[in-house]
A and B are shown apart, each in its own frame.
Chain A
Amino acid sequence: MTEVVLFVIFAAVALTGAVVMVTAKNPVYSAMGLLTTMFTMALFYILLDAHFLAVVQILVYAGAVMTLFLFVIMMIGVDKKEDTAETIPFQRGLTVVVGAGLAAVVIMAGRQAWVTGSTAFGAPDLNGTIETVSDALFGTWTVAFLSTVFLLTIAAVGTVALAMFGTPQLRDTKSEEAP
């Protein structure tokens, strides 16, 4: 019962955050809406006894990703008025249709076992969420995990390479400007 009450409260907060994120005129408020939703997601994970996942959600998404978002938004002119004119005439109608479609797909998928997961394993061990996650990461799915690591490393190296060896003119003007 407690769980249901908490879920309803958190769900309301999460949805409010999502609505604020989409409707806010100012990007900083949008970021705050997204932050609220992400934070509430962490609370859902706690309700599901996945403490590790909850903390990682806060640490990575609310802590790092959103801070970076906010930093970027604050750095590049938030005072500038956004162009809110709609260029596609049937945009709003399309939104309703696509939204309804998505909702239908989610509701249908929610009834399938391959989405909700099997309950054959029983309740998760409360004190072992880190162990469970690391067993999966470094045991069962090592190859997939390492491939992701490689992909991310390549992306990071690529970004550095682009920043350092990108347009040569830019680099030249920079070195000329340097005192």
Chain B
Amino acid sequence: MEDFIVAAVKTVIAFALLFTVVLLLVWIERRIVAFMQNRLGPTRAGPLGILQTLADGMKLLFKESMTPDRVEVWLYLAAPIMALVPAVLIFLVVPIGAPITIGGTEYTLQVTDLNVGVLYVLAMSSMAVYAIALAGWSSGSKYPLLGSVRSAAQMISYEAAMGLALVPVIMFNGTTSLAGIVEAQGATYFGFLPAWNIVLLPSFVVFVIAMFAETNRAPFDLVEAEQEIVGGFHTEYSGFRFALFFLAEYINLFNMSALTVVFFLGGWQGPVFGPTVLQWILPVIYFFAKTFAIVFLFIWVRGTLPRMRYDQLMGFGWKRLIPVSLAWIILAMIAVGIRRFGLPWA
């Protein structure tokens, strides 16, 4: 029974945290992109405009949700939900802090630690493509359909690269549990350099690039390229249904940043000192600081790079990223083998 209560509390906290973070995220992105483009962005609602997202959300909630005539109703209604659910589910396995001990019981700061966490994350992010494909198809209109066909091709291609980029991480840390991967990065080299997986640099680079494509963000935002296909898959959506897509997109952005931190930047690892309470809080702060650094990278790239052409996108994915990750897997395999079994001639 106690397990159920703990799980329920954790789920509620995770949910609240995720949505608060997303509200902040949208505001942060709008402000930073505005600064990069030499303007101010939203400043009116609340201090520094921090409540702008909340206001927009309320507006979308009260707006009429139009259902165009030619839609396939069931799938049209299901698609926004199918977008949101996998996005939220991914966050459940992300460890956001060091385990804390209260009254002799150890609580992990993640909803659940799956022993197949890495694969679970990949599986859930592969489910995201359904929402976009179905939304585009069920809208019964040509621009959404074009957008969804693009997204299906793009996400399948880059998912492969993303999965391959994670293979060296799994081999290096010897576990597929996300908590285990973070634990494994707790050691240090020479006593002071943190042993983060960033040493697997090619993996990190491939993962980050694939991450941009998986979240359909610039420079891979062909799925919703405004200048070419109006809004892509969400052209026919309005009101709260559109808000769900929007939420899912930003939750995915946060998830992917958090996963980069977990896989390559040591998760919540960092120097911990002081009283017990500080030792609980510091890892959480480290985790969020690192995650928001990656989020900033996302926004920075969006403000800097132009959109790729479709053939460039496909060529880059299949002819560059995947061969590079395959070659790197073989190298990493040899390195891990030597580390574990010694040199072949020794």
Contact = CB atoms under 8 A, between A and B. Distances in A.
Interface of A: 26, 28-29, 32, 35, 51-52, 54-56, 58-59, 62-64, 66-68, 70-71, 74-75, 78, 126-127, 129-130
Given A28-B72, A71-B152, A74-B148, A55 B133 contact: no
Interface stretch (B111-119, B261-269, B272-280, B318-326): B111-119
Contacts of B153: 71
Given A32-B75, A59-B119, A130-B176, A67 B149 contact: no
Contacts of A51: 114-116
Interface centre among B123, B129, B152 (most CB of A within 10 A): B123
A126 B133 CA distance: 36
Contacts of B172: none
B116 A55 contact: yes
B145 interface: yes
Given A51-B116, A55-B120, A78-B137, 10 more contacts: A28-B134, A32-B134, A54-B116, A55-B123, A59-B122, A63-B123, A67-B126, A67-B133, A67-B152, A130-B176
Interface string B124-138: 101101100110011
B156 interface: yes
Most buried by A among B74, B122, B130, B134: B130
Nearest to B119: A55
B2 to A, nearest CB: 15
Nearest to A71: B152
A58 B137 contact: no
Interface residues on B, range: 20 to 34
10 contacts: A52-B116, A54-B116, A55-B120, A62-B126, A63-B126, A67-B129, A71-B152, A74-B133, A75-B149, A130-B176
Contacts of B123: 55, 58-59, 62-63
Interface of B: 72, 74-75, 114-116, 119-120, 122-124, 126-127, 129-130, 133-134, 137-138, 145, 148-149, 152-153, 156, 159, 176
B-side interface mostly: helix
B116 A129 contact: yes
Given A28-B72, A32-B75, A130 B126 contact: no
A67 B130 contact: yes
A127 B179 CA distance: 13
B34 to A, nearest CB: 36
A54 B120 CA distance: 9
Contacts of A67: 126, 129-130, 133, 152, 156
A130 B120 CA distance: 13
Contacts of A62: 123, 126-127
A126 to B, nearest CB: 8
A26 B73 CA distance: 13
B123 to A, nearest CB: 4
Contacts of A29: 74-75
A26 B72 contact: yes
Contact of A74 (B74, B145, B156): B145
B118 to A, nearest CB: 9
Contacts of A55: 114, 116, 119-120, 123
A78 B145 CA distance: 12
Contacts of B126: 58-59, 62-64, 67
A52 B117 CA distance: 10
A122 B194 CA distance: 42
A129 B115 contact: yes
Nearest to A75: B149
Nearest to A128: B115
A58 B123 CA distance: 6
A133 to B, nearest CB: 11
Contacts of A66: 130
A147 B153 CA distance: 30
The 5 lowest CB-CB distance pairs between A and B, nearest first, are A63-B126, A58-B123, A55-B119, A59-B123, A55-B116
A56 B153 CA distance: 21
Contacts of B74: 29
Contacts of B138: 28
Contacts of A58: 123-124, 126-127
